[in-house]
Structure 1
Amino acid sequence: MKRGSAVGDLQRGERYCNIDYLVNQSLRLSRLKSFIFSYDIVCQYSINAIKRLENMNPDLCIIQPDAKVRFVVPKFHLPAHIPTCQSRYAFMLTPGAGLGDGEAPERGWGEANPLATSTREMGPGSRRDTLDYNFGDYNWRKVVKLGGFLLRKLTAAATDLPEQVISHQELEDVLDKGMLASWKIEVEAWERDPSKPNPFEIKVDKPTQAAVRRQLAEEERKMLDDGLDFSLDDTTSQSGLISMGLDIEANQRSLKTSASDLWEHSGDRQIGRVTLKSNALIRRIEDYYGKLQLYIPASVALRKKFGSTQTVPTYKIPLWLPSQIGNQAPFDLALARLEFKLREAQAHEALGTLRRCLQMRATFYDTKDRWARGQKQNTRSRNAINSAQARINAARDEYRAARTALINLSQLLSQPMDESLQVLNDSDIRSMKSTETDRDSAGKVFALSRALRPLEDEDLRPIQQPAPGTVGLTGDTRKTLSWIWRRGNITDGEDNSYYDEEIRVEWAKSQSRVARYREEINIVQEEMNRTLRFWDWKADQWMALVSAQDTRNLNPAVIDGMKAYSWRQAEMCRRLKVSFEAQWADVSELVSKSKKLASNPDTWYEMKEEEEKKLETAKLRRLASRALGKK
C-alpha cells in the first residue's frame, strides 16, 4: 500500500535523511510495538537508524523503548549481498515475517513508472495531485482485490505446509537428540536477540581442495587396509563368493564408464587400455564362474541357456548372483540371505559416499567461482569437479544396483527391506546447498556479478524449457532437502566438522521455513478477519455521514444527493464484505486439512502418489491424443 506521507522526492541517490523523514512521517501516528523494516540496503541503513529516528523527533519518537525491531532485505535483492547479510537479514529467517518477500513496494513503483513522462512537465501542485490520485487508485484496487489475493496466499501456504513439516521431521529423526536440543537453544536465543551468535552462519572454515584430496586418498588407503581387494582360492566361503561377485560387479560398472568415454577418434593407447581392462575382468569372471558352480550348480545351465558371453560386452556379462537368479533355478537360500545383508551394507555405504562427494563437489564449485581466473586455473578446477562427479556417478550406480538387488531378494526371501532406501532419482542427487553452489543438480545460481558463466550441457535447451530439476523451485521458500540427507546416518560416522556445521545450518533453515509457513497461515487468517472488520467500520463511517447531512445548511437537493452517495458507498462496503466472506467460506476446512496432513505423513504420501498417478495418466492421454491426431 502507498501510505500517507510515505512518498517523497529524492536528490541524486537515496540519502539517509530523506528515508528517515519519510519513515517518521508515515509511522508517526501508528504507535506500533513491532516493526519489520524492509529496505534494499538495510544492512547499511540499520546502523544507527533507531538513534537517528529518535533524534529527529524526541517528543514523539515512532520507536518506543519496548518495541521489537527487525531489519530485513527484500528477497530479490538479497542474493546480491554478502553471505553474512544473507543469513542476518533474510525474510525466511526472521520471526514474524511469514512468507513475505518485501518486494511489494518495488512492484508498486513499476506501475507508477509511466507517470514520470506526464508529471515531469507539470507544476509542483498539479504533479503532486496527479500522483496522489494515482496512488489512491492503486490502493483502492488492492483493497477490493484482497478477497482473491488473501485466499491465494492462504491456499499456497496451507498446501505446502505438510511437505515442509514432514521434511523437517524426517531430518530431525536421523539427527542426534542432544545436538538438536543445543541447536534449538541457539536458534531461540538468536530470535530473541539478534546480537547473539547467528545459528544460520557456518562457523567452521570450508575444507580446501588439498584437504578434500587428502581425504579421498585416506579413503583409498582404508579400503586397502580393510581387505576389500579379496584374494580368493579353493577354500572360498559362501560370503567370500558373494563378496567376490559384488566386487566384480563394481569392476563392470567401472569398465562401462571407461568404455563410454571411447569414440571414433579415440587413440590406440586409450582403446588398448580399455581392452586390457576388459580382458583382465573376463579372466576374473571365468575364475568366479568356477567357484560359483560349486555352490550353485544350476548356474552352469543358466549360462548355457542365456548364450555365450563372447557376444556380450564384458560389463554386461551376468554374474548369476542370487538376486539375479531369483526363481529361475534352485539354490541354497543361505546365499540369498548373505547377499541381502551385504547389499544393505552396500546401499548404505553408497549413500554415504554420495553425500560426501556431493558436498565435495559443492566446495569445488564454490572455490572455482570465487577464485579460479584464467584458463589454467579453470582447467584444474574443472578436472577436480569432473573427478568428484565421476565418484558421484559411481556411487549413484552402485546404490541403484544394490536397491534393485534388494527388491529381488526381498521378494525371494519374503523379507522386508529397509524402507529408508528409497528410489534414487536424478533430481534427488543434490547437495544441501543445491540452490547456491551445486549447479549440476537442483538449480543454477543466478549471479548478478557474473553475467558470463561457464556454458554447461544442461544450459543448451529451448528458452521455454526450465533447467533440469528446477521446476517449481522458487528459492528458499519452497526448498526441501533431498531425501538422501533425511535418511540414514548423515554424518557417516566421520569427524567432518564442516559438514556437521552444514547439517546444523540446514536444520535451522528447515525449522525456520516450517515456522514461517505456520506464521503465514496465522497472519493471513488475521488479515482476513481485519479486512471484514474494516468493511464494517467503513460502512458505519458512510452511514454516519448520512445523519450528519441533516445539520448542514445546504440546499435540500444537495443534501439528498450527498445522502444517496453515502448510502451507495455504505452498501458497496457491505457487498464487498459479503463477497469476501463467500470466497473465504472454506478457509477453516482448508487450514484444518493442512494441519491434519502435516501430522500424518502416511496420508500425505498417499495423497502425493495419487496426484502423481493422475498427472501421469493425463500425460499419457495427451500423448495418445497427439498420436491419433498425427494419424
Structure 2
Amino acid sequence: MHINAHIVLCRLLFSLALILGSGMTDGEGIERLWAATAGVAGSTKLSGHGARADQLDDHWSFWNWSKLVGLAKLLRRRLANAKIEAKKQEDSFRVFIRSRRSMSGIGWRCAPDMMTEADLRKTLEEEDRSARDGGSIPLHSVGPSEFIVFGLELESQQRNLRVQAQMKRHGTTAEPIRLRPLRKKLGKSIKRLRDLQATYTPTALTHLASLDLSDNILAEDIPLLLPSSIPPSLREGCKDGLLEIEARLRHAQCQSALAQLRHQLHIKARLLIYKKLQLRHQGMNTRSRALVARNEQKIKSHSDLYQAARAALCQIESAVVWPPLLASDIRCLEDPDDISKREARNRRQVETRLRRQVELLEAGLIMEEDVKEQMGETDSEDEPGEEQHPQKSSGESRRTISWIWTVAGTTGTDATLLDSLRVEWSRAYARTRRWREEIRLLEEEIRCLPLSLRHEERIWNERGAEALGGDRRLQEGRVAYAAKQAAMYREIAWRAELIQVEEWQGKGHRKYAERRRLNEEVEMEDEKRDEEGDSDSEKEAEETDEGEEETDEETDEETNEETDEEDESD
C-alpha cells in the first residue's frame, strides 16, 4: 500500500482499485517474501559476491518453484473467494441502486413521496382543517392528528429525561442536572394526555388501570399508551383513523431519525480526524473527548428514536419496510486503512480463540459439541463453511457500507454529507466492477495454466530430440534430463486439469477430515474395548456360576455321606 504515501492525484490516477481492467491484482505479492529474504541475506554477510548471489538465487528459485507447483490450488481458492466477495459486493451495491435516492448529473435527488416529519405535520393539520371546513363535527378542540403528535412529543421527552437521569447518575456533566422540575413538568403533560385519551382512546385508560403500576413510578417510565401500544382486542373502542395517522408519523420519524443519525456519524468522523491530526496534550484532548461524548449521546438518541418508531410500526403493520437497526449498523463512512487494521485485529482474536479451542479439544478438556455450539453462537449469520475458515478481508476491496447510508432522507442542508455519499456510491461501483473483472481474469488464468505447462512439456521434448544429434558423450544425460523435465511438467499439468474439475471443499478440509477419521478410529477402538470388557465380564460371571454349582454339588454329596454314616451307626 505504498500508494497511500503519495499525493491524492497520484492515488486517484494509479490506484489499482480504480483502474479499469486491473481486477483485484495482488500488488503486494512480490513483497511477501522480503521478510524471509532478510534472514537469508543475514547469513551471507561473510560470503563473497558470487556465493552470495548463488545462495539468494537458489532461495528465490525455490520459492518460485513452490508457487508454480501450488498455482492451480491458489487460483482455484482465489476464484472461489472472488465469487463469494463479488456476490456480497453486488448485493451491497444493489441496495444502493434500489434505494429511493438516485444519482443525477448534479447530485443526489430525494424521492418526492418521502416527506419529512415537519412537512407531514403540516399536511395533517391541513387535513384536519379541511375536515372541519367540510362540516365534520370535531370531538375535541384538539384534533386527532394533534393528539398523536402531542403523544409523540411526550415520548421524545421521556427519552430525553432518561438520558438526563443517566448522565446525572454517572456524573458525565460538569453542570448540575435538576431532574425534579423536568419530571414535574412531564407529569403535568401526561395528565393532559390522559384527558385527550378519554375522548379519542378510552380503552387506553381501561388498559392502564389493568397494568397495576406502582405509585412511585417515575414520569419517564409511565406508559403513554398511544394507539399502537393498545392491544388489538381493545382498539375497537378508539376513534377511526388514529392508527393510520400514527403510522404515517412513525414512518416520517424513521426517515428523520436515520437522516439525523447519518449526519451525526459524519460529524463524529470529522471530530475524530481533527482530534487525531490537530490535538495534543491532556487539556485539549479532554475537551475534544467531551465533544465526541456529546456527539455519541446524540447518536444514541437518534438510534433510540428509530428503534421506538419501528417497534410501533411493527404493532400497526404486518410488513414493516424499515429494517432493524443493529449496533453493528451504526458506523461511519470509514477509511479503508482503519477498516483493515480493525479487521486484522479481529481476525487475530478469532484465530487465537480457534487455536485455543483446538488445543483444548485435542487435550480432551472440552467436547466437540461444545466447540460447535460456541462457533454457532459467534458465527450464526455466516455462510456455511465459513465458520472454520473465516474469510480474510482487508481495506477498500472487501468492505461494505452500512444500510443506513443507502436509504432515503437527508438533513437537506449538509452538502458535504451528500458529497461523501456520492463518493461511497462511486467506491461501491468500483469494487463491484473490480471483482467482476477478477472473476474473468482468474477463469482465464485457470484455463491457460495447463496449456502453458503443456507448452513447457513440448519444449523439453523438443530439446530432448535436439540432444540426439549432439555429442554422444553428453547425449544420454541430456535426453534423460529433458525427459525428466517433460514428465515433471506433464504431471503438474495433469494435476492442474484435475483441480479444475475437482470440487473445492474449503481450505484445510483434508486436515479436518484426517482429524475426524482419527477420532472415529479412536471411538471404534474404545467401543471394541468396551465390548471385549463386557464379554470378559460375562465369562467371569459364567465361571463363577459354574464354580458355585460345583460347590453346591460337593456340599450335597458330603451331606448325603454324613447321613448314610449316621444311618449305619444306628
Q: Could you state the TM-score of these two structures normalised by the residue count of structure 1?
A: 0.64
One-letter amino acid of the structure 2 residue matched with residue 375 of structure 1: Q
> What is aligned with 2:487?
571
Q: Distance in 2 between matches of 1:181 and 1:525?
A: 39
Matched, 1:363 2:234: no
Deviations 1:417-450 (A, max 9, x none): 3x2x11111111112235568xxxx78789xxxx
Aligned residues: 444
Q: Could you state the TM-score of these two structures normalised by the residue count of structure 2?
A: 0.70
Q: Distance in 2 between matches of 1:374 and 1:320?
A: 50
Secondary structure at 2:324 match in 1: coil
> What is aligned with 1:299?
204
The structural deviation recorded for 1:172 is 3.1
2:496 aligns with one of 577, 580, 593:
580
Q: Distance in 2 between matches of 1:176 and 1:224?
A: 23
> What is aligned with 1:505?
423
The structural deviation recorded for 1:356 is 1.0
The structural deviation recorded for 1:108 is 2.0
**Superposition pairs of residues 404-423 of structure 1, within 5 angstroms:** 404-411=311-318, 416-417=319-320, 419=321, 421-423=322-324
Change (3 A) 1:107 1:267: closer
Question: Contact (CA 8 Å) 2:167, 2:173: kept in 1 or not?
Answer: no
Change (3 A) 1:146 1:182: farther
Q: Distance in 2 between matches of 1:465 and 1:223?
A: 52
Q: Distance in 1 between matches of 2:351 and 2:184?
A: 46
- Flag structure 2 segments of 5+ consecutive residues without an equivalent: 109-115, 126-138, 355-389, 507-570
One-letter amino acid of the structure 2 residue matched with residue 389 of structure 1: E
Deviations 1:592-621 (A, max 9, x none): xxxxxxxxxxxxxxxxxxxxxxxxxxxxxx
Q: Distance in 1 between matches of 2:74 and 2:163?
A: 53
Deviations 1:330-384 (A, max 9, x none): 3334211111111111111111111111111111112222222233332332222
Matched, 1:280 2:185: yes
> What is aligned with 1:542?
460
Q: Distance in 2 between matches of 1:235 and 1:155?
A: 67
- Flag structure 1 segments of 5+ consecutive residues without an equivalent: 1-74, 184-218, 447-457, 591-631
Secondary structure at 1:481 match in 2: coil
> What is aligned with 1:424?
325
Q: Distance in 2 between matches of 1:238 and 1:226?
A: 13
Question: Contact (CA 8 Å) 2:151, 2:226: kept in 1 or not?
Answer: yes
Secondary structure at 1:504 match in 2: helix
The structural deviation recorded for 1:78 is 4.2
> What is aligned with 2:564?
none
One-letter amino acid of the structure 2 residue matched with residue 482 of structure 1: S
Change (3 A) 1:525 1:225: closer
Question: Contact (CA 8 Å) 1:255, 1:315: kept in 2 or not?
Answer: yes
Q: Distance in 2 between matches of 1:433 and 1:177?
A: 22
Secondary structure at 1:293 match in 2: helix
Question: Contact (CA 8 Å) 2:23, 2:436: kept in 1 or not?
Answer: yes
Q: Distance in 2 between matches of 1:426 and 1:328?
A: 34
Deviations 1:56-78 (A, max 9, x none): xxxxxxxxxxxxxxxxxxx3x34
Question: Contact (CA 8 Å) 1:309, 1:317: kept in 2 or not?
Answer: no
Question: Contact (CA 8 Å) 1:350, 1:398: kept in 2 or not?
Answer: yes
- Which has the larger Rg? 2
Question: Contact (CA 8 Å) 2:468, 2:479: kept in 1 or not?
Answer: no
> What is aligned with 1:351?
258
Q: Distance in 2 between matches of 1:153 and 1:127?
A: 35
- Determine which structure has the larger helix proportion and give its number: 2
Question: Contact (CA 8 Å) 1:150, 1:528: kept in 2 or not?
Answer: yes
Whose relative contact order is higher, 1 or 2, with alpha carbons under 8 Å and at least 6 apart?
2
**Superposition pairs of residues 330-345 of structure 1, within 5 angstroms:** 330=235, 331-332=237-238, 333-345=240-252
Secondary structure at 1:423 match in 2: coil
Change (3 A) 1:86 1:581: same
Question: Contact (CA 8 Å) 2:250, 2:312: kept in 1 or not?
Answer: yes
**Paired-residue identity, %:** 27
Deviations 1:308-329 (A, max 9, x none): 2534333221111111113241
> What is aligned with 2:40?
115
